Structure 1
């Protein structure tokens, strides 16, 4: 049995899962780490007792610089098997219908920024910095090239992709890339506050929202609306037949807070 600590730590608190990337010195991701992260997020997705995840990293300097180039130089294939969820465990994980909050506690560049983009909400420490420097290494930030022009103004996204320049948390907020930036000592407090708010919400509605958003990304408005109306999206069909939907209506009529059971 290996005495090497896992590069990914998890902590359960109620229905919230805290996932901490902890791979000194910089929290870079190699194939083994990516596969572990995929297993962690797959298990989170499939656990009915978990509703929200927070993704952060150990230390104060690095969130994640992306791919471990030293490991790659030693034979870790860049195009290797990243695991069940693709790079970082989240990027290509199918049917992830639970909210994930990224708490970016430092440098997030390359694949580390792409990892943050895989979350539903991004909080950043004031000192966090971001970049997509792949252009300088003669390669492409593939996931960011797909996602970024859909998230922020096209010309800004192209500038960041084509120049690889660094930018701070204040600029990330200006373009809507992050939800908030906070003093470093408030970052996790705010992440837990937001996670507890989501923990108290209706999990079946969250699932429906996430599936609708995914479906709509590559579809015409009316096509997705038709699939919703015809209950062709699984999470929507489950929601419309659920105890929780009836509970929501009853709670409203009775002027009380609903009690969500996720069924």
Structure 2
């Protein structure tokens, strides 16, 4: 099974654009925005479209209903056990596609902010950890609960283990328990907690602020951070130094420094 992702479906994910801020809302509240194959493919296509859209500067990722996402669609997974190969090909496909989605978020040259109300569990928690920033309503809950159903959350740990400490990530996966928003903030999984129902508004406000920065500078900075963060110190500094040299060669850097020295607002190229 190597078919390309299906075209984006507005029935699964809604897109709203406002002054450079793109809000993607998972719109399958009846199944808690489960990351079935169609939902994953729709998100992959949506992020690819955003990557090509010069007007899109920052992305906010939200979920309709009681969850950002409750993770993979277990009914879909279980149904494929009836395939001739007992689901092996489908399971390889969906795990590969899910990894493609998470990496697309990290590789997107624009910041992505998760707005979390309700639950974000398993691959849904992975989605939050893959975003650059996350705002959580105080009633939000996070978990890697796969261990309770005999399916250890190995893939979600790739993202979660890079967002929080190793011991915190392993505790989440080994216990499977629900973590309150305040605990997620202390662990570094989310940036801050806001009153319930305010996560989307706060994420959009943060996105609007970031959207006012140089798009070229944001792209360089995000890429450099993600390239160096897992490297040894000497390699990390070499990567970061090159990124800053590249950044200094950009017109926006010259304009930004000049504006600071001249005590005026900068005029970005894009």
Q: TM-score, normalised by structure 1?
A: 0.88
Q: Which residue of 1 aligns with 2:221?
A: 209
Q: Which residue of 1 aligns with 2:6?
A: none
Structure 1 CA distance for aligned equivalents of residues 120 and 99 of structure 2: 13
Q: Which residue of 2 aligns with 1:29?
A: 35
CA contact (8 A) 2:57 2:211 kept: yes
Structure 1, residues 208-261: CA drift from partner, whole Å, max 9, x if none? 2211122113322222332444x4x6xx56533221011112101210111222
Query: How do 1:67-82 and structure 2 match up within 5 A?
Result: 67-75=72-80, 77-81=90-94
More helix by percentage? 2
Query: How do 1:7-46 and structure 2 match up within 5 A?
Result: 7-25=12-30, 26-46=32-52
1:183 Cα offset (Å):
1.6
Structure 1 CA distance for aligned equivalents of residues 10 and 218 of structure 2: 34
1:63 Cα offset (Å):
1.3
Structure 2 CA distance for aligned equivalents of residues 124 and 252 of structure 1: 34
For structure 1, which runs of at least 5 residues remain unmatched after alignment?
A: none
Structure 1 CA distance for aligned equivalents of residues 192 and 110 of structure 2: 20
Query: How do 1:77-116 and structure 2 match up within 5 A?
Result: 77-81=90-94, 86-87=97-98, 90-93=101-104, 95-116=107-128
1:81 Cα offset (Å):
4.7
Total equivalences in the alignment: 252
Q: Which of 117-126 and 89-98 deviates more?
A: 89-98
- RMSD of aligned residue pairs (Cα, Å): 2.2
Structure 1, residues 142-192: CA drift from partner, whole Å, max 9, x if none? 233223333323322221111111111111112222111112232222111
1:42 Cα offset (Å):
1.3
Structure 2 CA distance for aligned equivalents of residues 7 and 223 of structure 1: 41
CA contact (8 A) 2:146 2:153 kept: yes
Does residue 55 (structure 1) correspond to residue 57 (structure 2)? The answer is no
Secondary structure of the 1:158 match is: helix
Secondary structure of the 2:156 match is: helix
Query: How do 1:1-263 and structure 2 match up within 5 A?
Result: 6-25=11-30, 26-59=32-65, 61-75=66-80, 77-81=90-94, 86-87=97-98, 90-93=101-104, 95-229=107-241, 231=242, 239-262=247-270
CA contact (8 A) 2:224 2:239 kept: no
Q: TM-score, normalised by structure 2?
A: 0.85
Secondary structure of the 2:152 match is: coil
